[in-house]
Chains A and B, each alone.
Chain A
Amino acid sequence: MKYFKNLFYLTGKRLIDILDISGFTILLLLRALYFCKNAFSKRREIFKQMYIAGVKSFIVCSLVAIFIGMILSLQVGIELQRFQQQSLIGDLLITTMTREMGPLMTGIIIIASVGSAMAAEIGTMKVSEEIDALEMMSISPVKFLVMPRLIALAVMVPISTIYVIALGTIGGAIVAYFQLNVPYDIYYNRVVQAIRFKATYVGIFKSFIFGIIIAAISCSQGLKATNGALGVGKATRSTVVASFLMVLIVGYFITSFFYGK
């Protein structure tokens, strides 16, 4: 009996915690959006954050993009080869990359390399009283820290996504050439023909939303950190888990909004 009581208590407490942090994250996002009116005066910080996000994720993005392209090309290509249709590989690659793989993979990379670091950085500032110091100086942490990061990721995730799509397609071309004997010019022509305006803008829109989600979750987890280094670690971990889930869930709903019936 006591055990059950404890179980209920813990489950309830966890649920309330989740509601609490979700509400906090949404409010934080709204306040950050409001402070976007001050974006111009924070342009240097925004560029700095964009630069950090770009540099931190560049190498991983490149490797993941190439290998995802190669894997897709190989897996699908082998099936296509059975029907002598391997020349269509370019269509398939560009379609899957723009619609789903590009935004999703980029989102995951940014979560792992940029979002986690963001949560750790802001969490460290929180537990070492730097956020309190800002508040004492009448400097809004939302305007000073969150808004620039939000804008930076909202811009950088789509840019990285385009880069990942391009590089993934090139990765696909390499495998198509060496494994499936599809010449580069045929592959290229298929790709150009298969690029769809809708798939592209939906993909980019998705990555834009992912950028906003990742920044909002990372910052809110950081700002909620307590208990020294332990709390910073917990904030980082929660950021990765929560962002990953949200990117998957929101990604599905964006897809179903544009393509569902």
Chain B
Amino acid sequence: MIELIAIHKSFNGAKILNGVHFKIRKGETFVIIGQSGTGKTVTLRHIAGLTDPDSGEVLIEGVRMNGARNRVKEKLRKKMGIVFQSGALINWMSVRDNISLPLRENKLFSPDEIERITNEKLELLQLKDAADKMPADISGGMKKRASLARVLVINPDIILYDEPTSGLDPVMSEHINELIRRMQKDFDVTSIVVTHDMQSAYHIADRIAMLYRGEIVQCGTPDEIRNTENPIVKQFITGQVTGPIEVA
């Protein structure tokens, strides 16, 4: 279970998160939607403990993540993975080495096992052909998939996805959506997915939350969101230019 309690965060005087508050049940797929630049990535970084809030608390299974000692953070992250928006692959390692990196560095398995697991994930994300290329030589979508593969090798209980399907073709997007759902069904993985893509949000979400101006304006099941009366959410999901959301 993941709980964010009244998270406030400013960068250089600009308030980005203004009392963000939500609770995610174990095994749930929770989707965060919102405009570009509203702080979706910042929210995910709070959950991962990569950014500390100005005030508020992040609880992972009841343990405080923000401000925790390195050892505590390390322990919480053992079963947590994040798929970064840009992939964040180590640029001087091949795709294969990137994917096996967490296993090799933490000496979790024997070399043969690591080889086997890596190949399995390469296969799963259709990266076989790119396995020996460098991150700079593959497409944005491939980077994202490689980043996901690198998360999957550690068998996490919690996966944070930062726009996993943006930059992917429709077929591949659907494949990733399926994967997210299968992780939930087969391994009871808790997923937090940041996305702009309403189709995939409806498809995978147990609950959807909309972030606007640093606050969660509505949080509910896909049906509740689809039939929302909230003008902000309504404008966002239908993609209207006119409405309460100002288009700069």
Chain B 93-120: CB-based contact to A (< 8 A → 1; otherwise 0):
0000000011001100000000000000
Judging by beta carbons under 8 Å apart, are A124 and B105 in contact?
no
Alpha-carbon distance between A125 and B81 when the two chains are bound, in angstroms: 18
* Residues in B whose Cβ lies below 8 Å from that of A134: 90
* Residues in A whose Cβ lies below 8 Å from that of B82: 133, 136
Judging by beta carbons under 8 Å apart, are B50 and A132 in contact?
yes
Given contacts A125-B90, A138-B74, A138-B77, contact A133 B105 (CB under 8 A): no
Judging by beta carbons under 8 Å apart, are A135 and B78 in contact?
no
* Residues in B whose Cβ lies below 8 Å from that of A144: 105
Kindly identify, within residues 69 to 96 of chain B, every residue whose CB is under 8 Å from any CB belonging to chain A.
74, 77-78, 80-82, 84-86, 88-91
* Residues in B whose Cβ lies below 8 Å from that of A124: 91
Judging by beta carbons under 8 Å apart, are A133 and B88 in contact?
yes
The DSSP consensus for interface residues of chain A is helix
Judge whether B149 is part of the interface by a CB distance below 8 angstroms. no
Judge whether A1 is part of the interface by a CB distance below 8 angstroms. no
Alpha-carbon distance between A34 and B91 when the two chains are bound, in angstroms: 26
* Residues in A whose Cβ lies below 8 Å from that of B45: 132
Shortest Cβ distance from residue A224 to the other chain B in the assembled complex, whole angstroms: 15
* Residues in A whose Cβ lies below 8 Å from that of B74: 138
Judging by beta carbons under 8 Å apart, are A136 and B90 in contact?
no
Kindly identify, within residues 123 to 151 of chain A, every residue whose CB is under 8 Å from any CB belonging to chain B.
124-125, 128-130, 132-139, 144
* Residues in B whose Cβ lies below 8 Å from that of A133: 82, 84, 88-90, 147, 150
- In the complex, residue of chain B having the shortest beta-carbon distance to the beta carbon of A144: B105
Judging by beta carbons under 8 Å apart, are B101 and A128 in contact?
no
Alpha-carbon distance between A144 and B86 when the two chains are bound, in angstroms: 21
Chain A 155-172: CB-based contact to B (< 8 A → 1; otherwise 0):
000000000000000000
**Contacts across chains A and B counted by CB atoms under 8 Å:** 52
Shortest Cβ distance from residue B190 to the other chain A in the assembled complex, whole angstroms: 16
Judging by beta carbons under 8 Å apart, are A129 and B91 in contact?
no
Judging by beta carbons under 8 Å apart, are A136 and B105 in contact?
no
- In the complex, residue of chain B having the shortest beta-carbon distance to the beta carbon of A138: B74
Judge whether B201 is part of the interface by a CB distance below 8 angstroms. no
* Residues in B whose Cβ lies below 8 Å from that of A137: 77, 101-102, 105-106, 150, 154
Judging by beta carbons under 8 Å apart, are B91 and A139 in contact?
no
Shortest Cβ distance from residue B67 to the other chain A in the assembled complex, whole angstroms: 15
Alpha-carbon distance between A138 and B107 when the two chains are bound, in angstroms: 12
* Residues in A whose Cβ lies below 8 Å from that of B88: 128-130, 132-133
Judging by beta carbons under 8 Å apart, are B101 and A139 in contact?
yes
One of A135, A136, A139 near B81 (C-beta < 8 A):
A136
Chain B 150-169: CB-based contact to A (< 8 A → 1; otherwise 0):
10001000000000000000
Judge whether B16 is part of the interface by a CB distance below 8 angstroms. no
- In the complex, residue of chain B having the shortest beta-carbon distance to the beta carbon of A129: B88
Judging by beta carbons under 8 Å apart, are A129 and B102 in contact?
no
Shortest Cβ distance from residue B167 to the other chain A in the assembled complex, whole angstroms: 16
- In the complex, residue of chain B having the shortest beta-carbon distance to the beta carbon of A132: B50
Judge whether B189 is part of the interface by a CB distance below 8 angstroms. no
Judging by beta carbons under 8 Å apart, are B106 and A129 in contact?
no
Given contacts A124-B91, A129-B84, A130-B91, contact A135 B50 (CB under 8 A): yes
A-B contact sample (16 more), CB < 8 A, given A136-B77, A137-B77: A125-B90, A128-B86, A128-B91, A130-B90, A130-B91, A132-B48, A132-B50, A132-B84, A133-B89, A135-B77, A136-B82, A138-B77, A139-B101, A139-B102, A139-B105, A144-B105
List of 4 A-B pairs having minimum Cβ-Cβ separation, nearest first: A129-B88, A133-B88, A137-B102, A139-B105
Residues on A lying within 8 angstroms of B by beta carbon are: 124-125, 128-130, 132-139, 144
Q: List 6 A-B contacts (CB under 8 A).
A: A125-B90, A132-B50, A133-B88, A136-B82, A137-B101, A139-B101
